[in-house]
Amino acid sequence: MLIGLHGSCGFIAVVGDVFKGEVLYNGGLTILPDSLIDAMVVNAKILLLLPGTNTWENRKHEAILKKAREFLVLGHRGGGSL
């Protein structure tokens, strides 16, 4: 799951994932993605947030980590939790 925050006079959350189904996180948080990860455009107005998970090493997250690298290589801001 990748959350991009952007907006001209504030922020809105745009949530992307590799599929558009509900995602249940540790602790009970459920998120429904707005967009597929491949459709998210890397730009300087987006703040990258990666929610915590204990499965980042799993191959199913490769597309998300690849998109995160695109943000970070260009020097965009980001954050995450463990």
| pLDDT range class, residue 27, cuts 50, 70, 90 | confident
pLDDT at 1 exceeding the cut of 60: no
Domain-by-domain residue ranges, the chain?
2-80
CA distances from 82 to 8, 51, 52, 53, 79 (A): 30, 8, 4, 6, 10
Residues 66, 53: Cα–Cα separation, whole Å: 16
Domain 2-80 annotated CATH 3.40.50.880: yes
pLDDT of res. 57: 84
Phi/psi of residue 15, nearest 5 degrees: -105, 125
pTM for this entry: 0.67
82 or 78, which is more confident: 78
